Structure 1
Amino acid sequence: MSHDPLLAHAERSIAVGSKSFAAAARLFDANTRRSAMLLYAWCRHCDDVIDGQQAGHEASVQAPALALQCLLELQVQTDAACRGAPVEQPAFAALREVARQHGIARQEAFDLLAGFAQDVAGEHYRSLDETLGYCYHVAGVVGLMMARVMGVRDPAVLDRACDLGLAMQLTNIARDIVADARVGRCYLPEQWLEELAIPRDRLTDKRYRRRLAQLAQRLVDHAEPYYLSAQAGLPALPWRSAWAVATAALVYRQIGLKVRKAGADAWDGRLSTSKWEKLCAVAGGLWRALSCRLRRYPVRDPGLWARPHSTPAAARHDAPATVPADGR
């Protein structure tokens, strides 16, 4: 039995919540792996609380008042963790340690919660840029925090880490269109739905599957330049971190390719990668990690969606207000 209760809690969380992340996390050196898993445990806990689920499975529709109360409690406990104050649950103790050790800013932690607040509010996304704004909150900022755990401080490299989070979330949205619709959520741009005459409240109806497949392919196609951009951040990472990140990117990208290939059948079951495919990704990630310093990467495409820089979350138009710094 582990003598490290926080790590044991995180390991249980990741074992059930994300086999893809679990496969990549094993490749980190021991210290980085521990911090990455602690950060993951907090992210997983917050996601589960908002979705009324266990370890990423069986999301349910929560009453608005209950969902809002859950969000407020997450904000209070996250604020306490970022201030180094006492907390009540292992997930927040994990965040407190990681924030202190790696300089995770309160703003970035609350940027993640702002994404969950968008879910609680049932926000709609008119354009792809608005969808990407949501992707930043629930995944791009996770890429930033994970990069800090790996020792990254260069803003240009942090941009690339954010790009990987955006790519992964676009992949997730494509894979989970129907599952999300079952709990009343839609992250597809409304402009896209209107173009193909798909009613927002009929996404689970099989008569629209072929049209949905076209939109899922568009999402997967839009993810590609973000995956490509993320590769340019690999040379700035310690080689084992580069290996882990490259492996995670390959695993998630493979899911997107499966969505594209499956077409209208993509939502007959939850698409994932096999053990063999994960092993291939591990080998491919190793090659990328070892060869990345020999390659020349282009400057980041200015046409890609850019993360917000140094703007307090509560002051940005896309971030809902949060609890005051004293947690009241």
Structure 2
Amino acid sequence: MNPDLTPAALRRQVSGSSFYAGMRVLPRAEREAMYAIYAFCRAVDDIADDHGGDRAARARDLAVWRRGIDALYDSGAIGDGGDPGPAGFLAPHVHRFGLARADLQAVIDGMAMDVERDIRWPPAAELDLYCDRVASAVGRLSVRVFGMERDVGELLACHLGRALQLTNILRDIDEDAAIGRVYLPREAIEAAAIPITTPAAVVGDARIDTVARQVAAQADRHFAQAHAILAARPRGRLLAPRLMEAVYAKVLGRMKAIGWAPPRGRVRVSKPALLWTVLRLSLSRP
């Protein structure tokens, strides 16, 4: 509930990740804002994934963050709406980059979906809503920091956020099932004739590969849309989103080549490959 939000702690949390590599190339103010957004997301995600706490307690912890976010915006001026509590560290970035209250609250809404119940084989529409809240909303916050024009930035956030989240879902099938969650869409599972019983049984069925490939195709379509937006070179600091798109698309490609039939191994990005991608994108035209 009280994460370490010092710059050194944040660097330790993200060091070596594609997120860290992408954000390191930003100017200091933008970099610190992105670390703050990451810290916020990490804090509320930790609440959602805290299986040691009961659901009511976790919901109360999320409510503290909700009230803190509201306090940043209420009374018509940043910082005049009461005590923001744990969300106070976001105040300078909300003010400088015009971060939207609705997007910060949407992230909490997404985490609340995991707190209310363990998400298992959600309908496709519910899965899309979840992706919008936990990923595309983060993208909408990020593109403000990147200085993108609102319409094109929100379109990029829509597609890239969903592409990244669906890739994460496909990468984490076994880890999610181990804690009672299956984020793959019910319609695809039923179409593959997989009996909906327990998370372990569903993801352990060889036919889950068919389901996963449908989700991968959806992620590919979002990656293609995001790539087209970035290729048009809109205004803004685009190296970070270009890096995320390149790295995660490669992860998805490797998973498609291997397949999702059990037993599965977790696909990872090597540090040399990550550094090479950063260098290649840094040397290419913005």
The answer, yes or no, to whether TM exceeds 0.5 is: yes
Does residue 1:63 correspond to 2:54, yes or no? yes
Q: State TM-score, norm by structure 1.
A: 0.75
Letter in 1 for 2:125: D
SS of the aligned residue for 2:207 comes to helix
Instruction: Please give the per-residue CA displacement for 1:248-277, whole angstroms capped at 9, x wherever unaligned.
Output: 111111221222222246764432201122
Does residue 1:86 correspond to 2:83, yes or no? yes
Relative to structure 1, the CA distance from residue 212 to residue 72 in structure 2 (aligned partners, 3 Å threshold; closer, same or farther) is same
| Cα distance, 1:124 vs structure 2 | 5.3
| Cα distance, 1:11 vs structure 2 | 2.2
For the residues of structure 2 that align with 1:62 and 1:74, how far apart are their CA atoms? 17
Residue 102 (structure 1) aligned to one of 86, 97, 105:
97
Q: Please say if residues 50 and 70 of structure 1, whose CA atoms lie closer than 8 Å, have aligned partners that are also in contact.
A: no
Gaps of at least 5 residues in structure 1 are: 53-59, 292-328
Residue 177 (structure 1) aligned to one of 148, 173, 176:
173
Letter in 2 for 1:212: I
Letter in 1 for 2:272: W
For the residues of structure 2 that align with 1:261 and 1:50, how far apart are their CA atoms? 32
| Cα distance, 1:245 vs structure 2 | 1.4
Q: In the alignment, what sits opposite 2:40?
A: 42
**Aligned pairs (5 A) from 1:173-212:** 173-205=169-201, 208-212=204-208
Relative to structure 1, the CA distance from residue 281 to residue 218 in structure 2 (aligned partners, 3 Å threshold; closer, same or farther) is farther
Q: In the alignment, what sits opposite 1:13?
A: 13
Q: Please say if residues 112 and 138 of structure 1, whose CA atoms lie closer than 8 Å, have aligned partners that are also in contact.
A: yes
Q: In the alignment, what sits opposite 1:159?
A: 155
| Cα distance, 1:125 vs structure 2 | 5.6
For the residues of structure 1 that align with 2:59 and 2:167, how far apart are their CA atoms? 27
Letter in 1 for 2:253: L
Instruction: Please give the per-residue CA displacement for 1:259-307, whole angstroms capped at 9, x wherever unaligned.
Output: 22222467644322011221232244336x616xxxxxxxxxxxxxxxx
**Aligned pairs (5 A) from 1:285-304:** 285-286=281-282, 290=285
Q: Please say if residues 136 and 161 of structure 2, whose CA atoms lie closer than 8 Å, have aligned partners that are also in contact.
A: yes
Equivalences, count: 273
| Cα distance, 1:113 vs structure 2 | 0.9
For the residues of structure 2 that align with 1:81 and 1:186, how far apart are their CA atoms? 35
| Cα distance, 1:75 vs structure 2 | 1.5
Q: State TM-score, norm by structure 2.
A: 0.85
SS of the aligned residue for 1:181 comes to helix
Gaps of at least 5 residues in structure 2 are: none
For the residues of structure 2 that align with 1:207 and 1:163, how far apart are their CA atoms? 26
| Cα distance, 1:208 vs structure 2 | 3.0
Q: In the alignment, what sits opposite 2:115?
A: 120
Letter in 1 for 2:273: E
Identity %: 28
Q: Please say if residues 13 and 44 of structure 1, whose CA atoms lie closer than 8 Å, have aligned partners that are also in contact.
A: no
RMSD value over aligned CA atoms? 2.5
Higher mean alpha-carbon deviation, 254-263 vs 118-127, is at: 118-127
Q: In the alignment, what sits opposite 2:127?
A: 131
Q: Please say if residues 67 and 84 of structure 2, whose CA atoms lie closer than 8 Å, have aligned partners that are also in contact.
A: no
| Cα distance, 1:223 vs structure 2 | 0.8
Relative to structure 1, the CA distance from residue 211 to residue 81 in structure 2 (aligned partners, 3 Å threshold; closer, same or farther) is farther
| Cα distance, 1:33 vs structure 2 | 1.4
**Aligned pairs (5 A) from 1:227-246:** 227-234=223-230, 235-238=233-236, 241-246=237-242
Instruction: Please give the per-residue CA displacement for 1:45-91, whole angstroms capped at 9, x wherever unaligned.
Output: 11112111xxxxxxx364222222222222222323444243443xx
Does residue 1:28 correspond to 2:26, yes or no? yes
Instruction: Please give the per-residue CA displacement for 1:217-263, whole angstroms capped at 9, x wherever unaligned.
Output: 2212211121121124431243xx31221111111112212222222
| Cα distance, 1:144 vs structure 2 | 0.7
Q: In the alignment, what sits opposite 2:212?
A: 216
Relative to structure 1, the CA distance from residue 10 to residue 219 in structure 2 (aligned partners, 3 Å threshold; closer, same or farther) is same
SS of the aligned residue for 2:25 comes to coil
Q: Please say if residues 170 and 223 of structure 1, whose CA atoms lie closer than 8 Å, have aligned partners that are also in contact.
A: yes
For the residues of structure 2 that align with 1:206 and 1:117, how far apart are their CA atoms? 24
For the residues of structure 2 that align with 1:62 and 1:185, how far apart are their CA atoms? 17
Letter in 2 for 1:19: S
